[in-house]
Amino acid sequence: MSGEDASWSGEVRVSAPGKVILHGEHSVVYGKRAVALGLDLRTHLTVSAAADSVSLCLPDVDISKTWSLEELRALWKQMGGAQAPDAAPLADAQAALLRSQLPTGAGLGSSAAYAVCLSGALLTSQGRLDPGEGRANLEKVCRWAFRSEQIIHGTPSGIDNSICTYGGAVNFKGGASTPVEVPPLQVLLVNTKVPRSTKALISGVRERRERHPSAIDPILDSLDALAERGIQALHDLASATRDQDRAAAHETIAELIEINQGLLCALGVSHPSLDRLVALAQANGLRAKLTGAGGGGFGIVVEGLAGKEDVAKCCLDLETHGYQVWRTRLGAPGFTIHHAQ
């Protein structure tokens, strides 16, 4: 439904995945290439019609708020919202309930999954997605989610809202994303349990670059080249038909992960908990890097062709050192409408 007089009386249920950035975190903020994959941990949102208010229930962060439509219309007017060129009319009373499997503020894109769910559910409930316009609808969802990320982050690159909208794997550069064929990529998601702020880490990189532009810019260029090599390796893995080609692609991916972590250390976004994680993986013959903004949060260990025993031993070592470990396969589907009426 849309328009000032329309009153919608249905329910919309949607979900969006979290994400793992394989290559390009931080450098993507400077227009460099990045590659990210959907994660099978999801955020779910239900939006339903309400009598005369808008309420938002976020049990995972212990927030529950209700505003009367009158209050919101006054605020809308005060903000000059009606004059905005792409402003959506504030028409309907709604209740939104959101649940997430994603830890917040840890590098797995909880903010983007949240943003994508909100934008997708509201666009659906307001009748602003056109039946049969799959890609165009997703682009719309992605654009609105980016606005929400701007509120949370300040200067997001757009990669998180893109992967959480489109899912699978995306090749992202300069604000535009293209799909990448997803090979079977098994990883360990490792939680350092160290809290950190995406915004503060991005500022830290900016300040380091301002102090030493001639040293930092080549690192950003290397990260760009690494992402390009990473996409080629994913492609090689997806299209490999012989064991030796699969093995070669896995070896390349592992080596790129190792180089990437070194460059992120040079940008100043690692953390002792991440350095230890990388060393423990390496002691078991596996390669690891931080994912997302770093400074704590999550790291990933790529399993490649490691045997079951080596992977199990690596998990055990990590858990013994206090890390939480989840084993998962990357490439989960993007924004999904489960129910709309």
**Binding residues for ligand ADP (CB under 6 A):** 43, 58, 60-61, 98, 100, 104-112, 114, 152-153, 198, 292
Interface with ligand PMV (CB under 6 A), residue from 22, 98, 123, 202:
202
Contacts of 198 (CB under 8 A, 6+ apart): 105, 107, 111, 153, 292, 293
List the x/- string, 284-323, binding to ligand PMV by CB under 6 A. Answer: --------xx------------------------------
Q: Give CA–CA dist 180/177, Å, rounded.
A: 9
In this structure, are residues 226 and 334 in contact, taking their beta carbons and an 8 Å threshold? Answer: no
Which residue of the set 48, 100, 110, 111 is catalytic? Answer: 111
Interface with ligand PMV (CB under 6 A), residue from 157, 165, 260, 284:
157
Q: Which stretch binds ligand PMV (CB under 6 A): 21-29, 118-126, 213-221, 231-239?
A: 21-29
From 270, 266, 229, select the one nearest 251 (Cα to Cα): 229
Q: Please, which residue, 146 or 323, has the CB nearer to ligand PMV?
A: 146
190 binds ligand PMV per the rule CB under 6 A: no
Burial 162-175 (b: 16+ CB within 10 A, else e): bbbbbbbbbbbbee
In this structure, are residues 145 and 115 in contact, taking their beta carbons and an 8 Å threshold? Answer: yes
The option from ligand ADP, ligand PMV, Mg ion, none interacting with 220 (CB < 5 to 8 A, set by class) reads: none
Q: Please, which residue, 252 or 273, has the CB nearer to ligand ADP?
A: 273
As measured in angstroms, the least distance from the Cβ of 107 to Mg ion is 8
The option from ligand ADP, ligand PMV, Mg ion, none interacting with 98 (CB < 5 to 8 A, set by class) reads: ligand ADP
Q: Please, which residue, 109 or 168, has the CB nearer to ligand PMV?
A: 109
As measured in angstroms, the least distance from the Cβ of 282 to ligand ADP is 25
As measured in angstroms, the least distance from the Cβ of 109 to Mg ion is 6
Q: Please, which residue, 113 or 188, has the CB nearer to Mg ion?
A: 113
Q: Please, which residue, 164 or 169, has the CB nearer to ligand ADP?
A: 164
Q: Give CA–CA dist 291/330, Å, rounded.
A: 13
165 binds Mg ion per the rule CB under 5 A: no
Active site residue 160: yes
Residue 9 exposed, middle or buried by CB count within 10 Å (0-12, 13-18, 19+):
exposed
CA angle (311 as vertex; 306, 254 as ends), nearest 5: 45
The option from Mg ion, ligand ADP, ligand PMV, none interacting with 335 (CB < 5 to 8 A, set by class) reads: none
Residues that contact Mg ion, how many (by CB under 5 A) = 1
Q: 199 vs 120, 149, 156, 159, 310, CA distance in Å? A: 25, 11, 9, 15, 36
Q: In this structure, which amino acid lies at residue 84?
A: A
Which residue of the set 15, 160, 224, 273 is catalytic? Answer: 160
Q: How does DSSP assign 227-249, residue by residue?
A: HHHHHHHHHHHHH--SHHHHHHH
Check the CA dihedral 297-303-306-310 and report its sign.
positive
Position of tokens 């031993």? 313
Q: 136 vs 130, 139, 240, 313, CA distance in Å? A: 8, 5, 32, 46
Contacts of 44 (CB under 8 A, 6+ apart): 13, 14, 15, 98, 99, 100, 117
Q: Please, which residue, 268 or 285, has the CB nearer to ligand ADP?
A: 268
157 binds Mg ion per the rule CB under 5 A: no
Interface with Mg ion (CB under 5 A), residue from 27, 46, 100, 111:
111
Q: Which stretch binds ligand PMV (CB under 6 A): 49-57, 60-68, 105-113, 256-264?
A: 105-113
Q: Which stretch binds ligand PMV (CB under 6 A): 114-122, 149-157, 299-307, 323-331?
A: 149-157
Q: Give CA–CA dist 318/281, Å, rounded.
A: 8
Q: With both helix axes pointing from N to C terminus, report the angle between 243-267 and 213-239 in degrees, rounded to the nearest 10.
A: 160
198 binds ligand PMV per the rule CB under 6 A: yes
Which residues of this protein are in contact with Mg ion, per CB under 5 A? 111
